Structure 1
């Protein structure tokens, strides 16, 4: 599979969080393999737990955007550094910088993501937004 057809984290997050008309199951299936798992700030989640996390975020997030600062694809490996700006339904904002390493499944979707987040702006309660449910 060529890198042009592989998803990026920016495209995945945009579909998952910032495209309200897109069904959650469709967005997840578009970007993540059936055996997907993710580690965020040391906590592992399987695909079901990840979907629960995104479902929760969809109730909290009003809008946002992803800015990719660095991105590298080599074979079945993906790495990036991106910033996510979120406006929550209560009007407060959160800005997170994320350092991410990932593996693609043979079909080009993400199979595994390991990421560390750094809160740049937001309330102390938002520090765990990357794994909140």
Structure 2
């Protein structure tokens, strides 16, 4: 279905909040709200299909206790999306991680993400958390 001005689009802050910081929301329901069935993501050069992405999020749900997303810059034009955001995470072990993300995405016609290509920059956290953007 082609997008009309009335077709709502997702955004990264809403998507990440549903995926990571709403543990009562089923993982697949959260993903279906924001990501198309043919979703693909590249994080720091590593491509994942939707199944790989969901495995990553399932892992994060086991280690993330709470957190927040702060969007600094955001632009949506046609089927394209770009933003710069910071994710702050408190892990279940009490340690914290702060990651800045530079993201370019494409929307599917229904307003969900079809692709995301992102680069991450760890601002704070342990060296072992450097790969948290693609950890499983």
Q: TM-score, normalised by structure 1?
A: 0.98
Quick check: 42-51 or 4-13, which moved more?
A: 4-13
Equivalent-residue separation in structure 2 for 1:2 and 1:31 (angstroms): 18
Aligned residues: 133
Match of 1:93 in 2: 96
**Structure 1: 4+ residue segments shifted above 4 A:** none
Q: TM-score, normalised by structure 2?
A: 0.96
Q: Identify unmatched segments of 5+ residues in structure 1.
A: none
Equivalent-residue separation in structure 2 for 1:117 and 1:5 (angstroms): 27
Give 1 or 2: higher helix fraction.
1
Deviations 1:67-101 (A, max 9, x none): 00000000000000000000000000000000000
- Does the CA contact (< 8 Å) of 2:7 and 2:111 recur in 1? no
- Does the CA contact (< 8 Å) of 1:102 and 1:112 recur in 2? yes
- Does the CA contact (< 8 Å) of 1:3 and 1:73 recur in 2? no
- Match of 2:25, SS? coil
Deviations 1:28-49 (A, max 9, x none): 0000000000000000000000
- Match of 1:94, SS? strand
Q: Identify unmatched segments of 5+ residues in structure 2.
A: none
Match of 2:115 in 1: 112
RMSD: 1.1
